[in-house]
Amino acid sequence: MVTAVEDFVRTTVIPAEPRPGTALDPGVLSGLQAAARERGVFAPQVPGRWGGGGLPLRDWSPVFQAAGYSPIGPSVLNCMAPDEGNMHLLDQIATPAQQQRYLAPLAAGRIRSCFAMTEPHPGAGSDPSALTTTAVRRGGDWVISGEKRFISGAVGASFAIVMARTDADGDAPAGATMFLVDTDDPGFRLGRRIHALDSTIAGGHPHVHFDDCVVPDDAVLGAVGEGFRYAQVRLGPARLTHCMRWLGLARRSLDIALDRVQRRELFGSRLSDLGLAQELIALSVIDLETSDAIISRTAQLLESDPRAGSALSSVAKVHCSEAICRVIDRAMQLCGGDGMTDALPLASYLDEVRPFRVYDGSTETQKWAIARRAVKARRTAVAAGAPDLDALVAACRDDW
């Protein structure tokens, strides 16, 4: 599969790329997706029962990286956010009827979707527990009210997976609940568009309003009150697949720079023979390989121990989002003036990846969570009998 995707992206997708910073024509995208189906590389991550390649999560990374070698590759292969994460969630949580209604056409590339969780301040952003959108039971229906922002892919989406706060309902605890909402519902309203640096996610990042949006009880995704738990089912792998796709683009950026430094001469030597250039190249290779390694480790853990894998996905997300930006920035530096212009696509690549340091939990928020987990894990280990090394050293010091 990896070789097939690499060949398809290089021979078919890259020649069809639009000018850097411009959107891909929907008609061109449709034709490329048809070609991907013919080549057997469409929706590689989707289970075979839904028409995809059926790859297990541990095998996604090299394929997603190969797709991400082009900024439009993931959309062509139907493994782009937010649809890829929504497909994974629907496969894991949705009822058979919901899967037929929403997952089947999404996996086939006939529709797009969005995931509506983030809200304007002081609502849910980096802190999902601050959720302010509510859903109240009314007879056999639910009434959703609230405002979301930065809802990627919302323009043109056929449905949204919506996070809303719910009260205790029978045996279900108070908390958050996920709902499937058709975007042609009278209570669903697109709001102000947000003009962000990135442009490859079709449908932008607008505000979305739920104006007493009425949905039936069978619109509940999973169980009432379990929305935060389901969010981890989606967000752990989704953080990681972002890393995979953007790592592919970072590899292409370094390849562009490597081609340039072997042709360009400076001070009587090829640029590739100069120590300062070699330093930038070596650091980029290190960033690529360490990112690749932590992605693979996290993918394996997400399959064998989802809770631990979700925690490690925070580490992967921080490392990869920062490393990928460094690689592309160094590539721009190695290419000199052309790296700053549309003579090369590198500047547009940096625009695409820079927001990833904020999306899906900012670097700072993830570091806070990582540190808290580390402290808690060590406290638990010591309580269970592991030696308190600080106390042990202090005791030994008395004998020195």
pLDDT band at 398 (very low <50, low <70, confident <90, very high): low
Fold of the CATH domain 113-225: Butyryl-CoA Dehydrogenase, subunit A; domain 2 (2.40.110)
pLDDT at position 20 is: 81
Average pLDDT rounded to a whole number, residues 76-90: 95
Give the pLDDT confidence of 99-155 residue by residue, as tens digits: 999 999 999 999 999 999 999 988 777 777 789 999 999 988 999 999 999 999 999
Give the pLDDT confidence of 303-317 residue by residue, as tens digits: 999 888 889 999 999
* Token pair listed for 194: 């947000």
Domain assignments of the chain as residue spans, ordered by start: 2-80, 113-225, 229-376
| Cβ neighbours of 185 (radius 10 Å) | 17
Q: Could you check whether 2-80 and 229-376 share the same CATH topology?
A: no
Domain 2-80: CATH superfamily is Acyl-CoA dehydrogenase/oxidase, N-terminal domain (1.10.540.10)
Widest distance between CA atoms in the chain: 80
* Token pair listed for 335: 């290419």
Q: Under CATH, which number does the domain 229-376 receive? A: 1.20.140.10
Q: Are 196 and 147 in contact (CB under 8 A)?
A: no
Statement: residue 350 has pLDDT above 70: yes
Q: Inter-axis angle of helices 306-334 and 346-353, to 10 degrees?
A: 150
Three-state SS for 204?
A: coil
pLDDT band at 254 (very low <50, low <70, confident <90, very high): very high
pTM of structure: 0.92
Write down the mean pLDDT value for the chain.
93
Give the pLDDT confidence of 14-26 residue by residue, as tens digits: 999 998 877 788 8
